[in-house]
Structure 1
Amino acid sequence: MQTLTETKTQLPTLTYTRNPGMALDLDWVASVQANTSAIERRAASLGGRRSVKKDFQAAWLLKAISLIDLTTLSGDDTEGRVKRLCAKARQPVAPWMLDRLGLQGLTTGAVCVYHDMVGTAVRALEGSNIPVAAVSTGFPAGLSPYRLRIAEIGESVRAGAKEIDIVISRRHVLTGNWQALYDEMREMRAECGDAHVKAILATGELATLRNVARASLVCMMAGADFIKTSTGKENVNATLPVTLTMIRCIRDYQDRTGIKVGYKPAGGIAKAKDALLYLALMKDELGHPWLQPDLFRFGASSLLGDIERQLEHHLTGQYSAANRHAMG
């Protein structure tokens, strides 16, 4: 596990490598299985085996902050809220705490907003090197007319988004129409241009872990730079069994192609202790490269507030009120 000293030299450094994709291999897709009971046992074992304390815990929590896509996706979003969120992304932890921890320059991994707020976020983050991610393609359901979903990607890219979080058509997965899913993902990836594309699977609506695994693989074949669990709007969002399923597909894809694909769990990750479990799982299954922001992100907002509270407790021995660590 990392120490606090080691973390000081490992602030976010974005060294993205694009996934060019490959031809759809239906034989590979058909061969993919998921042993649900074994996956659930492995996921359930994490909480009892992984525990870090004191400086080690603080180091890992600081790492988690650098991996957060700080997000606001509400119907009542305003320019003022987005500007405050961007200010929080620039300075995610109170300066006095960073001084005590001996760390400067810490930021979140990105800021994630609706398309209409991309321009506001880009202006608010100017000069920070923090990318703006835009949710697109009829988020969250992905059921708007297809041509409009494609056009929305282009609009977000032209507005300055460096990352596009697209939603797949769940019906293609549920009906096993892998060619349609591949073609859709391929076209969306092409429309992103130089912007990096995260494919949101909405895993809570895919019925089985086998469907999750096959959808993950098809999206990677089509060129997804990241695969992402959820929109955050489903009844069930990111879980450890889903995460284990998806990251083992990432490992298989790298073994077959040599290409690293990123992973983003989103929705329902609100506690610092949960972030530590995800980080432990990523390191165990994929290794150190997936503890960097070019290959791993948390889709979250309230997570940052709880991490701040834990860091303050580490420094003072006392828990502060949650309202002292607001997002804006």
Structure 2
Amino acid sequence: MTASADLPRNTGLHFDPAVVEAVRVNTPATLRRAATLPGRRSVKKEWQAAWLARAVSMIDLTTLSGDDTPGRVRRLCAKALHPVRADILDAIGLPDLTTGAVCVYHEMVPVAVEAVAGRIPVAAVSTGFPAGLTPFDLRLREIERSVAAGATEIDIVISRRHVLTGDWAALYDETAQMRAACGDAHMKAILATGELGTLKNVMKASMICMMAGSDFIKTSTGKESVNATLPVSLTMMRAIRAYEAASGFKVGYKPAGGVSKAKDAILYLALLKEELGDRWLRPDLFRFGASSLLGDIERQLEHFVTGRYSVGHRHALG
């Protein structure tokens, strides 16, 4: 993730409890708005192919398994650099298309950095991922070590207990220290929204993380029982809009976990366009955290080019 010339990096705001107390979320209206989206937003043919190609460019292709090996990470990186078969990309006029980044555990950062050779960013999950319950000084050290190893994006996890107990000052302080530890690396703050209880908590946590300097806010680790959803995404996008109005800074958004189908990716992009506008439809302000999504998109693009669907095993995922 590189800062665009027209996009200054979020420097955050001083902690203000009044901002948190002013948060309001109309949950029934949010749920209704999200429920109507699938029936109102459908694109076909070349328009669908264009949206799906854009989605590919905004995927953080991810492997976060206990049995990750250097070989698996190298295969993942090869897929990120060549996400769709060359003949399909040539047919749609995008031969150089890549994913937005690769995302790995700290131990695999050097392998990924070598494999991508600077062509796309390497993101590292950090701060005791996924629970975020390791000692705080070790969480900061993990960030620093990942940056030193070559990661240019750091996906941190917040302490959910601060949200559930309403200790917003503690959440702000921890997040600000993590942002400082990232240095020039961009920070994505993972809220683990499926564990926060209410959309109001999601909105408040989003505002605090942005006030503390987060470059992105992200729904989930992918390890919770409930990950990215349209109501949560709508809530977080509206928090981003409110923060921009208050600060002048644009903050990115990353839904992670639960987005595995091409049609779902288009729904998220449609919601993004409607709520935040076209500027967010670029990799520096939007990412999908995904591993299986790319395979379904590739199948849909092959159907667009050839008129036929192929079996899944023809589209290696790394």
Q: Does 1:27 align with 2:18?
A: yes
SS at match of 1:211: helix
Q: Which residue of 234, 238, 242 maps to 2:232?
A: 242
Q: Structure 1 residue 27: deviation in Å? A: 0.5
| Partner residue in 1 for 2:256 | 266
SS at match of 1:198: strand
Whether the aligned pair in 1 keeps the contact of 2:191 and 2:205 (CA below 8 Å) is yes
CA distance in structure 2 between the aligned counterparts of 1:257 and 1:250, rounded to whole angstroms: 10
| Partner residue in 2 for 1:66 | 57
Whether the aligned pair in 2 keeps the contact of 1:204 and 1:236 (CA below 8 Å) is yes
| Partner residue in 1 for 2:92 | 101
| Partner residue in 2 for 1:206 | 196
Whether the aligned pair in 1 keeps the contact of 2:3 and 2:9 (CA below 8 Å) is no
Q: Structure 1 residue 127: deviation in Å? A: 3.9
Q: Does 1:195 align with 2:159?
A: no
Pair 1:217–1:127, CA change in 2 (3 A): closer
| Partner residue in 2 for 1:50 | 41
CA distance in structure 2 between the aligned counterparts of 1:175 and 1:205, rounded to whole angstroms: 13
Q: Which amino acid aligns with 2:291?
A: S
Q: Which residue of 176, 180, 195 maps to 1:186?
A: 176
CA distance in structure 1 between the aligned counterparts of 2:93 and 2:238, rounded to whole angstroms: 36
- Gap runs ≥5 in structure 2: none
Whether the aligned pair in 2 keeps the contact of 1:14 and 1:293 (CA below 8 Å) is no
| Partner residue in 1 for 2:207 | 217
SS at match of 2:253: strand
| Partner residue in 2 for 1:80 | 71
Q: Does 1:18 align with 2:9?
A: yes
Q: Which amino acid aligns with 1:242?
A: V
Which one is further off, 296-305 or 14-23?
14-23
SS at match of 1:133: strand
| Partner residue in 2 for 1:233 | 223
Q: Which amino acid aligns with 2:311?
A: A
Q: Which amino acid aligns with 1:233?
A: K
Q: Which residue of 143, 154, 157 maps to 2:133?
A: 143
Q: Structure 1 residue 41: deviation in Å? A: 0.4
Alignment of 1:121-136 (within 5 A): 121-128=112-119, 130-136=120-126
Q: Which amino acid aligns with 1:55?
A: E
Q: Structure 1 residue 250: deviation in Å? A: 0.2
CA distance in structure 2 between the aligned counterparts of 1:133 and 1:17, rounded to whole angstroms: 20
Q: Per-residue CA shift, 1:67-117, capped at 9, x if unaligned?
A: 000000000000000000000010001000011112221000000000000
**CA RMSD, aligned part only?**
1.0
| Partner residue in 1 for 2:316 | 326
CA distance in structure 2 between the aligned counterparts of 1:127 and 1:28, rounded to whole angstroms: 40
SS at match of 2:197: coil
SS at match of 1:166: strand
Q: Structure 1 residue 291: deviation in Å? A: 0.4
Q: Which amino acid aligns with 1:168?
A: I
CA distance in structure 2 between the aligned counterparts of 1:170 and 1:308, rounded to whole angstroms: 36
| Partner residue in 1 for 2:166 | 176
SS at match of 1:111: strand
Residues paired across the two proteins, number: 316
Q: TM-score, normalization: structure 1? A: 0.95
Identity %: 70
Whether the aligned pair in 2 keeps the contact of 1:13 and 1:293 (CA below 8 Å) is no
CA distance in structure 2 between the aligned counterparts of 1:68 and 1:18, rounded to whole angstroms: 21
Which one is further off, 50-59 or 16-25?
16-25
CA distance in structure 2 between the aligned counterparts of 1:224 and 1:100, rounded to whole angstroms: 39
CA distance in structure 2 between the aligned counterparts of 1:218 and 1:127, rounded to whole angstroms: 32
- Gap runs ≥5 in structure 1: 1-11
Q: Structure 1 residue 211: deviation in Å? A: 0.3
Whether the aligned pair in 1 keeps the contact of 2:62 and 2:289 (CA below 8 Å) is yes
